[in-house]
Chains A and B, each alone.
Chain A
Amino acid sequence: MKSHDGYIFMERLLPIAFSSLPEKVWNPLVELSHFFRDLCSTTLNVAHLEQMEINMPIILCKLERIFRSGFFDSMEHLPIHLALEAKLGGHVHYRWMYPFER
């Protein structure tokens, strides 16, 4: 699966595709999906990013309650720092690898 399919699925399709999961599992997954959608949005608001920075650990803690320890490799940890980077560096569209990977 290509990166961009993952991007579409993560941000748009995941809440619908996994809607048959129990609420306890579905909710944090949707929150994760919304986090990435907000992060990749074309307008960023500093107050909103600060709120995202507070929310991300809560989402990850909710995921910790559901998933096994093997699930949490470094890639699951890094989103915790992404809101801060977006606050300092601006839009992710100018700081990610899509233009180079094509």
Chain B
Amino acid sequence: MWPVIVTPYNLPPSMCMKEEYLFLTLMIPGRKNPKGKIDVFLQPLINELKMLWDTGVTTYDVSKSQNFQMKAALMWTINDFPAYGMLLGWSTAGRLACPYCMEQTIAKRLENGQKTTFFGCHRQFLAMDHPFRRNKMNFTKNEQEHAPPPKILSGDQVWERVSKIPKVPESELKRSADYGEKHHWSKQNIFWDLPYWKTNLIRHNLDVMHIEKNVFDNVFNTVMDIKEKTKDNVKARKDMSIICRRPELELFDLGNGKFKKPKALCTLSAAQRRAVCEWILQLKLPAVCEALYCYGYASKKSLFTWVLHSKMRGLKISKATRNEESRRLHFHGEIASYCI
């Protein structure tokens, strides 16, 4: 099931996005992901939105006790990253995943990891005179970066490209020859039927919730060195030796196809991992961190159950070293004052 929800924005902030004002408009049935064909299901909604923009509907105004013609516009869509690709018509998987950088990205595919990496893409965004741009040691080896950041396309520029691409039932989502190399377009999405769509500054939102969670998961799994989830595995080390110059992290070949992975600076030792877990367990979340749960979206016990899971994964709890304890207490004081 894929619900499509519409919510009005001209409400006071305290009422906006609350359950009472979320209107479930469409239910897309089926177990399978509709992918690009989602536009077919969206047709009735878009037709109504067009009507709401062009003619509007007669609505009763309680404050003035009279009818008026209400008009409405679609501001943007809120969706996760895979759905972003489905709605935009630009696939958000693979090398050209970023819908802002589009084909100007310099993302690469990793030989060993068989994944896309955005490593090396971020120096472009720095100021032209930033010393990181000239650094040949710590980033991609022997390479300096002189290119300006990718230009973000305006609504008109995007429309110029999209207007030549067929819409969904006609396009049949066939990929042209240069798909994946020069572009990721597969269709002209149905939102372009709205006359004002190209004047919107943001058409689809990047979902901060999912981005933050995924970034956190990656950081946490790598720093805690959680088996099979860490991004610092043998394949990553092999790719590293191709791209970067970090002799202290090179794999040792032990023969018989096995490798020894030297400990990286960014991972915690077993004792430190235990200390982190123990610290999370002793946090009195419901009492001490009530203020931290100011948005109230999480179950307060889920952090505990999650730590217990990591206990089962072999991260056993023991006493923290005194040194770390005092360091943490110092920061704890800081956070408490922040909350108040």
Contacts and interface: CB of A to CB of B under 8 A. Distances in A.
A65 B118 contact: no
B37 to A, nearest CB: 21
B231 A67 contact: yes
Interface in B268-302: 268, 272, 275-276, 279-280, 283, 289, 292-293, 295, 297-299, 302
Nearest to B299: A2
Nearest to A58: B126
B40 interface: no
Contacts of B213: 3, 6-7
Given A40-B208, A68-B231, A77-B122, A21 B268 contact: yes
Contact of A70 (B123, B233, B295): B233
A70 B297 CA distance: 31
Sort chain A's interface into a size bin.
Answer: 35 or more
Interface in A62-79: 64-79
Interface stretch (B59-67, B183-191, B215-223): B215-223
Given A2-B302, A75-B211, A101-B209, A19 B324 contact: yes
A61 B123 contact: yes
Contact of A67 (B113, B266, B293, B335): B266
Interface in B118-159: 118-127, 130, 132, 138-139, 152
B334 to A, nearest CB: 9
A36 B213 CA distance: 11
A77 B153 CA distance: 18
Contacts of B97: 74, 77
Interface residues of B, number: 96
A64 B303 CA distance: 29
A29 interface: yes
Contacts of B202: 85, 88-89
Contacts of B249: 68
B232 interface: yes
Interface in A1-44: 1-10, 12-22, 24-25, 29, 32, 36, 39-40
B268 A57 contact: no
B327 A13 contact: no
A4 B298 contact: yes
A101 B113 CA distance: 32
Interface string B194-222: 00000001100111111111111111101
Interface of B: 3, 5, 9, 13, 16-19, 22, 76, 78-81, 92, 97-98, 100, 107, 110, 113, 115-127, 130, 132, 138-139, 152, 201-202, 205-220, 222-223, 231-233, 235-237, 239-240, 243-244, 249, 264-266, 268, 272, 275-276, 279-280, 283, 289, 292-293, 295, 297-299, 302-303, 306, 324, 327-328, 331-332, 335
21 contacts: A5-B306, A6-B217, A7-B212, A7-B213, A15-B331, A21-B223, A36-B215, A61-B126, A69-B119, A69-B120, A73-B115, A73-B116, A74-B98, A75-B81, A75-B215, A81-B100, A89-B202, A89-B205, A97-B209, A99-B19, A100-B78
Given A1-B302, A71-B222, 18 more contacts: A7-B297, A12-B292, A19-B324, A21-B265, A57-B125, A67-B222, A68-B231, A69-B243, A70-B239, A73-B117, A74-B92, A75-B210, A75-B218, A77-B121, A82-B211, A89-B76, A89-B202, A94-B13
